[in-house]
Amino acid sequence: MIKNIIYATDFSEAAENALPHSLTLSILFGAKLILFNAQILHQDNPSNPLYHCPEKGELEKKAEEISKNLLEKKAEKLEKIEFETITRRDIFPDRAIISLAEEKKSDLIVMGTNGRRGIAKFLLGSTTLNVLKFSKIPVYVVPPEVKAPSKECPYKEILVSLDFSKSSSKALELAKEFKEKTGGRLHIIHIIEGKESEAKKKIKEIEKEHKPDKVEILKGKVEKEILKYAREEAIDLLFLGNKSDEEEEFFGLGSKVERIILHSPCPCIISKV
């Protein structure tokens, strides 16, 4: 059960795009929402609170104050939600996010991805990438230009891409929680890379146990088939497993999961064992 959610923001447009998603999730599960900003030490950037602090002695204090004010403005949008605003300083924002999640025993991290042009649009930002790689809890990622879910009926169509790994099985369990909360339809797909007969046998067992609304076995390139299915079935939320080291981890620069997130028509939840 999701009881504690972290919304990580750097005040960018991408992060702003993820805020309505975090509100919807908090309302849906009755969860506490933590609005978190990690200040990057020594970053000389006009959009960073540190830039506005001329006196060295008051630098860190002023940075925290500005960040908190910005978070409080966002917090005004929260309606009857238990929330907390936290600002911390770290050289690595991804490390700060993961550390806070462990400290607060959070159940989900919500993040945006940068909308970019050229070759950069095919890569996730380093902060998001590292959080996805090292987080021990599921991460809800909002791809560029993906709109917020409907408040009246969020996540009507839920998709799990199952590869029979422990991480994708964990993703399926979480997807079932969303189905129960929303009354949405649960789709399960498996992309064949091995023997078809073995895949069909496993899928039948999973279908019997989890009783999804729709099950399909597809052939082809994994990311292509997942994205195609998500678009054709108007999927509202996509669940993927991020394999651990023991499962021959495949999440990394240019990985299948990264490419799926960047081109997904809906938000993605990445689970890891």
Exposed/middle/buried for 211, CB within 10 Å: 0-12, 13-18, 19+? exposed
How sure is the predictor about 270, in pLDDT bands with cuts at 50, 70 and 90?
very high
- Domain architecture of the chain: domains with CATH: 4-142 (3.40.50.620), 157-271 (3.40.50.620)
Residue where the block lists tokens 């939840």: 269
The overall average pLDDT reported for the chain is 83
Whole-structure pTM value:
0.85
The reported pLDDT for the residue numbered 56 is: 43
The reported pLDDT for the residue numbered 58 is: 53
Does an H or E element contain 84, and which? Answer: strand 83-90
DSSP string, 206-248: HHHHH--SEEEEEES-HHHHHHHHHHHTT-SEEEEE---GGG-
State yes or no: pLDDT of 273 exceeds 70: yes
Mean local confidence (pLDDT), 36-43:
75
pLDDT in tens, 129-153: 899 989 999 999 999 889 888 877 8
The reported pLDDT for the residue numbered 196 is: 72
The reported pLDDT for the residue numbered 160 is: 98
Cα Rg, the chain, nearest whole Å: 19
pLDDT in tens, 164-204: 889 999 999 999 999 999 999 999 999 986 567 678 888 99
Taking the alpha carbons of 135, 252, 157, 116 in that order, is the dihedral positive or negative? positive
pLDDT in tens, 2-39: 999 999 988 888 888 999 999 999 999 999 999 998 88
